[in-house]
Amino acid sequence: LVSGMYVAARRMLHNLPACDVALLLESSPPKSRAVIWQLVDPDEHGEILEELSEEVQKSIIRQMAPEKLAAATEGMDTDDLAYVLRGLPDPVYQEVLKSMDEQDRQRAEMALSYDEDTAGGIMNTDTVTLRPDVTVDVVMRYLRLKGQLPEATDKLYVVNRDDQFIGEVALSRLLTVDTARLVSDIMTPDVQGIPADLDETEVAKLFERHDWVSAPVVDNEGHLLGRITIDDVVDIIREEAQHSMLSMAGLEDDEDTFAPVLKSTRRRTIWLAVNLVTALLAAAVSSLFEDILSQMAVLAILNTIVPSMGGIAGSQTLTLVIRGMALGHITPSNSRWLIGKELAIGALNGLIWACLIAAVVALWQQSWMVGVIIAFAMMANLLAAGLAGVTVPMLLKKFEIDPALAGGVILTTVTDVVGIFAFLGTATLLLG
Question: Of 94 and 257, which CB lies nearer to a second copy in the complex structure?
Answer: 257
Q: How many Å apart are CA 317 and CA 412, to the nearest integer?
A: 12
Question: Of 29 and 432, which CB lies nearer to a second copy in the complex structure?
Answer: 29
Amino acid type, 39: L
Min. distance of Cβ 257 from a second copy in angstroms? 4
Min. distance of Cβ 138 from a second copy in angstroms? 13
Min. distance of Cβ 252 from a second copy in angstroms? 11
First vs last C-alpha separation in the chain: 73
Min. distance of Cβ 396 from a second copy in angstroms? 17
Q: How many Å apart are CA 338 and CA 1, to the nearest integer?
A: 62
Taking residue 65's Cβ as centre, other Cβ atoms within 10 Å add up to 11
Question: Of 65 and 245, which CB lies nearer to a second copy in the complex structure?
Answer: 245
Question: Of 35 and 149, which CB lies nearer to a second copy in the complex structure?
Answer: 149
Amino acid type, 103: Q
Question: Of 313 and 396, which CB lies nearer to a second copy in the complex structure?
Answer: 313
Min. distance of Cβ 383 from a second copy in angstroms? 13
Paired with 300 in beta bridges are: none
Residues 105, 155 contacting (CB under 8 angstroms): no
Residues 230, 27 contacting (CB under 8 angstroms): no
Min. distance of Cβ 339 from a second copy in angstroms? 12
Taking residue 156's Cβ as centre, other Cβ atoms within 10 Å add up to 22
3-state secondary structure of 74: coil
Residues with Cβ < 8 Å from 267, sequence gap 6 or more?
Answer: 251, 252, 255
Min. distance of Cβ 327 from a second copy in angstroms? 7
In DSSP notation, 79-124 reads HHHHHHHHTS-HHHHHHHHHHS-HHHHHHHHHHHTS-TTBHHHH-B
Min. distance of Cβ 368 from a second copy in angstroms? 18
Question: Of 12 and 360, which CB lies nearer to a second copy in the complex structure?
Answer: 360
Question: Of 119 and 338, which CB lies nearer to a second copy in the complex structure?
Answer: 338
Question: Of 97 and 357, which CB lies nearer to a second copy in the complex structure?
Answer: 357
Number of alpha carbons in the 13 Å side-chain half-sphere of residue 206? 19
Q: How many Å apart are CA 322 and CA 337, to the nearest integer?
A: 16
